[in-house]
Structure 1
C-alpha cells in the first residue's frame, strides 16, 4: 500500500468515529430533554406515549366573557319649584337602571342635580345627604342629614317647595303613597313651620298644570255645562257646581260677590219650578233692583241667545267689554273661563253683542263651575 494512502485512511476512520460519537451524544440530549424538560409533553395518564393531556388553560380566543345585566331605560317624573315659588312643576327625565337599583335613592339624587329647564329651581338645600331610604306599607322613609334643616334658606313658600318637590316626586313611584322624613335617624317636630313628624301625603293642588292640558279639561267641562244649560238639565248642572263655593250668577260682565246671587249644589233642585223671587243685583242704567224668579232670570240673563251654537267660543279671553270693567280674573285669579260670544250687527253698530262666560276653578283635581256671567252692552 502506498505510504501516503495509509495515513489518510487512518485519519478518515478517526473522523468517522468522532462524528458518530457526536451524533449519538446529540440524540441522547434530545431524548433527555423530551423526558425532563417541564415545558415538554408529560406522560399520558393512559400510559400511551404520544397522546397529549388536555391543557386546563383556555386560550383567550376561546374564553366566553361573563354576562352583564343590561341597563334598563326608565322615564321618571321629578318636581321642581317654579320661578315664583308658588307651584311645583313636573319635569320628565330618562335614567338608566340596573336590576338592583333602589329607585327611591335614584330619584332623590336626580332631584339634587336640579332641573334642566331654565325657569325652574332646585329645592333641596345644599349639602343634604340621603343617609338611608326604605319603603314599607306605602310609606317611603327618607333619613336625611342635618344639612337638610340647617342649610334651608327659610320662608314658608320655600319650605313648601322643598317638601312637596320631594313628596310629589316620591309618590310618582309605584307603591308609595306617603313620605316620612327623618333627620339623622330621628323624627323632628317641625321643619321650619310645617309639622314634620308625621308622614306627608301627595298634594296635587300644588302642581302647576300644563297650560295645554288645563285648556282641554276646561273646554271639555264647559261643553258639558253649556249643553246642560241649553237643555235646562238642572241635575247635570248641579253636579258641576263647585262643592265649596257654589256658583255665582252675574247679570253683567262686572262681578260683584257682595250683591250677586250664589247657589250651592243642593239648592239647585227645583229652582226652575220655584216661584220665589230673588234679588239678583241692579239693572244697568236705571239702577233698579233685578227682582226675578230663577226661571225669569234664566231666560233674560243666562240663555237669552243660543250660546251652545255661538259664533265664537274663546278660552280665557274677553271678546267684548262695552263700558263695563270686566273683572273675572280679579275675582277668580285661579279660575279659567270659556266665553260664548255673538258679535253685534252692523245695524246696531255692534252694540247688540252678547256673551255668556262660564268660570271654572279646580278642586280635588276636577274643574267646577264657580260663576255664570252674562255679558252685553252697558251704559
Structure 2
C-alpha cells in the first residue's frame, strides 16, 4: 500500500477510507490502498455499465427476458442492485474485521421517491436486506429526515446524503439518535450498526462559488476552497459535544483539503478513486489535521460576506423544512434525477438499439 494513504490509516485508526465508486476494478485497487467501504448509485451504475458494456449489455438482455413486463427504470435499478451486491462481497472481509462499523456498500435510495418519507424508508429497508453489509443513503431533505429516523428504527444502517451544511448534518444525526433510542427502548439490538452522516464539502463550495459569481461578492477565491472544510469541522465538534453516535463522512471532493484536513478524526473519508490515485502518485504526507481549526480570518470573511455560508455554517441556519430550498440540495437532486434518466436511456439503447 502507498506510504501516504497506508500510513494515514495505520497512524490514525479512527480515520477510515471508503471508495466513492462500486466499479470492481477501482474498488479492488482502493481496497489495496486501505479502503473499507464503497458506494453505488445511478451515476455510478451508468459509469460501470459503460466501462464494461459487453457484460452489462448481455445481463440487461437477460433481465429483459426474466422481467418481460418491467420498465426500463426497473431493469436499470436491478442493475444497481447487482452492482451493489457484487461490491458488497468485496467488502465482506472488512465488514467482519470491523464488526459492521465499516466494510459497507452504500446504496442510494431512488431520488424520485425523495418527497415521500414512507417510500424512502420502505426502499431503505428493502436495500438493507440485499446483503449483510449494505448501508443505505437517504437524503437530508424535509421528508428524508423523517425517513432517516424511521429506517434507523427498523434496523437499517443509514448513510445520510444530499447533505452539505451543519444544520443538515446535525438534524440528520439527531434523527438517527431518535431511531436508535426507539430501538433501545424496545429492547432491540443496535449491535453492529454504524450510521454515517455525509457532508458533500465540494458541493457546498460549488454552490458558494456560484453565489459569489452571481451576486458579485468580493472575496479571496482561495477562501472558497475552505467553506466545506469549515462546515465539516464545525459539525464534527457539535457531534462530539452532543454525544451523537453517527460518524461524519467527507464526500464530493474538489480539492485535497477535503481529505487532508480531516485526518485524525473519527470520520470516514470517501474520495473518488481518481483522487486516491492522485494522492498516492503524488506521495503527499497526511499528518493529523482534524484538531487544527480553519483560519478564523477565512471563516469570518466567508461568514460576513456570503449569506448562504451563514445558512450552511450556523447550526440553526436552516430549519429542516428549509433544507429542500438550499441551492446545493436542488442542484444535487436534479443531478441525481438526471442520472436516473440517463440509466433509463442506457437500458433503452441496449434493448431497443437505434436502427
- The reply to whether TM is greater than 0.5 is no
Normalised to the residue count of structure 1, the TM-score between the two structures is: 0.19
Greater RCO, 1 or 2 (C-alpha within 8 Å, sep 6+): 2
Write 1 or 2 for the structure with the bigger share of helix: 2
